[in-house]
Amino acid sequence: MGTVEMRIDVPDGKEDEFRRLVEEIAKFYRRRKRLIELVEELKGSIETEKSWKDLRIEAYEHDTG
């Protein structure tokens, strides 16, 4: 896994909040491939009226909060 360093100007006092936000986005991107794999494994084993696309959207929204 690679490392990215960035310098970004943010309003005074918002540094920690911005850092947490960026870390949460990075956490999602590290996990997204595995989440998609898990959802694909479940495909066909769940009885529901919703389409597969709707289930993936809900899973994404649940994970991103």
**Domain ranges, residue 47:** 15-64
pLDDT score of 12 more than 90: yes
User: Is residue 48 a contact partner of residue 55, using CB atoms and an 8 Å limit?
Assistant: yes
Distance of CA 50 to the CA centre of its chain: 21
| Other Cβ atoms closer than 10 A to 39 | 15
Q: State the pLDDT at residue 46.
A: 67
Domains of the chain: total: 1
3 assigned to some structural domain: no
Q: State the pLDDT at residue 20.
A: 92
What mean pLDDT is predicted for residues 26-38?
84
48 assigned to some structural domain: yes
5 assigned to some structural domain: no
Half-sphere exposure of 36 (CA within 13 A, CB side): 7
